[in-house]
Amino acid sequence: MKFSTSSVSSLVLLLPLLAQSVSASPLGALKGGKAAPPAPPAKGNQAAASSVAVSAAASSAVASAAVSAVASSAAASVAAPPAAAATVAAASSGDLQSSLTLDPSVVATGFANDGQDVPAAGQVASLTSSNNFINFCATVANLPITNGQQITTGSCNPAPMGIIAATTNMPSSKFTFPTNGAVLQEAQPFTISMAITNLETGNFVNAEENYFAAPQQVTTSGNVLGHSHVVIDFLDSLNQTTPTNPTRFAFFKGLNDPAQGGILTAAVADGLPAGAYRLSSINTAANHQPVLVAVAQHGSLDDQVYFTVAANGSTAAQSVDFGGSDATQGVPPPASTAAAAAAGTAAASVAAASSSAPAAVSSVAVASAAPSAAASAPAKAAPSPIAVKGGKAPAPPAPPAKGNNAAAAQGKGAQGKGGNNAAAFPFKFGGFKNRL
């Protein structure tokens, strides 16, 4: 039971009245569960002394109860939940970075505008919020909170975007090897090299625990704190026009070290089988999120080149187009990219139809109510090759839990593996070792 300060004050004021009431009652007259016969009235000074004694005893009893109540209230305060205690401490210290409420100074009033005051053909209304979308993930209770993990079945991330790089600090990269149209020999080691500017490379966090878990940051000069990656995709041929499958690639490597002389490198120790390939960069902030810049209209922040790998004994001219011959060259025959694209479009349509735009949240303080139960559990996704380790198929995913706390139930089975250091975890496609 909790007693406020006003309650204790009231008890103190009632002490005299309670004392009088007690003095008129045979306190302590009960003995062994039976009422004792009233004592004969005392006379003279003895009666006055008796009355004073009883009144004093009653006052002492009530005072003890009041002290006990205060002690209980203090104990209850000490036993308050850590989150509540942290909120009180943050409020008293003025520490905005540990406070669980939104400070009025950071409210973006423009978020309440859906943008349709200046209509344009095909333009859709923006989602709106008057509290910076702080409780947005409560509107998608069927998804777990990202919580720093790579959840392959999808999640909701509450981390803000952070500091947006100025137009004068937009990063850019260009491959110096291999160059566009280059022809390499199969199974021959080579080193990818890439020039990069306006990215403070060498900054990467734990990809298994801090994925997308913090806002983008910049240096004092305005360059994004981050790192880069390179990925080599399989192609049917250099003339391929169908979209590639992002879950199927020949080589992936996070470039964690700082650039040397403006150049990043990655060794492809085993080379590649004969075939056609696309090499791309993926420039990111420290927490692995794509780099964010100040304007929508800008040049590409990444680079791509196309090259071929010739079969041993063949000439460059014979190696330009490997369409239809991948299976015999050691490159796994690609699944129908057209079918994959159609499946992806259908899945996107289903997802769009099943998710309605959440209502705008108007409260500035963080709501304490738990989100409503999910209407349906997320569909089980096919195992991603990113989760395959040592050529073995991954364990089946754990059954999804309900609400945003499902991240804990999703567990390791739903996460991607290894982030930038995933080169240590090879998996196999058609007998060819690939590196994450």
In a domain, 276, yes or no: yes
**Pairing mode, strands 224-235 and 275-285:** antiparallel
Q: Are residues 54 and 175 in the same domain?
A: no
List own/partner pairs for 97-103 with CB under 8 A and 24 or more apart.
100/366, 101/364, 101/365, 101/366, 102/131, 102/132, 102/134, 102/364, 102/365, 102/366
Q: In this model, does residue 168 exceed pLDDT 70?
A: yes
| Total domains, the chain | 2
Last residue of a domain, one of 332, 349, 384: 332
The DSSP code for 432 is E
Query: How is the beta sheet containing 190-197 ordered, strand by strand?
Result: 172-177, 190-197, 263-268
Q: Give residue-wise pLDDT tens across range 313-337.
A: 765 544 443 333 222 223 343 444 4
Report which DSSP code applies to 275.
E
- In a domain? residue 98: no
Non-local (6+) Cβ contacts of 62 within 8 A are 11, 14, 15, 18, 19
32-41, 163-172, 193-202, 217-226: least confidently modelled range: 32-41
Cβ-Cβ contacts under 8 Å for 286 (sequence gap 6 or more): 203, 204, 205, 214, 216, 217, 225, 226, 227
User: Does residue 153 sit within a domain?
Assistant: no
Please tell me the distance from the alpha carbon of residue 148 to that of residue 156, in angstroms, as a whole number.
11
Q: Please indicate, yes or no, whether residues 73 and 186 belong to a single structural domain of this protein.
A: no
In a domain, 184, yes or no: yes
Q: Which residue has the higher pLDDT, 360 or 253?
A: 253
φ, ψ of residue 48 to 5 degrees: the values are -65, -45
Query: Residues 198, 75: one domain?
Result: no
- Report whether 379 contacts 386 (CB < 8 A): no
For residue 176, tell me if it sits in a domain.
yes
193 vs 263: CA distance, rounded Å: 7
**Is 120 within the bounds of a domain?**
no
Domain that holds residue 19: 1-27+47-79
**DSSP one-letter string for 199-255:** EE-S----TTTSTT-S-B-B-TTSPEEEEEEEEEEEES-TT--SPP-TT--SEEEEE
In this predicted model, what pLDDT tens digit does every residue of 113-167 receive, in sequence order?
999 999 899 999 999 999 999 999 999 999 999 999 999 999 999 999 999 999 9
The last residue of one of the domains, among 39, 57, 79, is 79
Residues 74 and 202 reside in one and the same domain: no
Nearest to 272 by CA among 299, 244, 238, 312: 312
User: Residue 130 in contact with residue 108, Cβ under 8 Å?
Assistant: no
pLDDT at position 364 over 90: no
Residue 436 lies in a domain: no
CA gap 436, 420 in Å, rounded: 8
Are both 192 and 327 inside the same structural domain? yes
- Amino acid present at 34: K
- Predicted confidence band of residue 94 (pLDDT cuts 50, 70, 90): confident
Do 312 and 200 share a structural domain? Answer: yes
Backbone angles phi, psi at 207, to 5 degrees: -75, -15
Burial class (CB in 10 A: 0-12, 13-18, 19+), 280: middle
Q: Which of 332, 364, 387 is the last residue of a domain?
A: 332
Residue 197 falls within a domain, yes or no?
Answer: yes
100: buried, middle or exposed (CB in 10 Å: 19+, 13-18, 0-12)? middle
Do 52 and 184 reside in the same domain of the chain? no
313 and 195 in a single domain? The answer is yes
297 and 172 belong to one structural domain? yes
Cα gap 275→200, rounded to integer Å: 34
- In tens, the pLDDT along 38-49 reads 444 444 444 444
> Does residue 174 sit in the same domain as residue 301?
yes
Let me know whether 201 and 328 are in one domain.
yes
3-class DSSP state of 398? coil
Judge if 297 and 179 occupy the same domain.
yes
Whole-number percent of the chain with pLDDT over 90 = 50
CATH number assigned to the domain comprising residue 328: 2.60.40.10
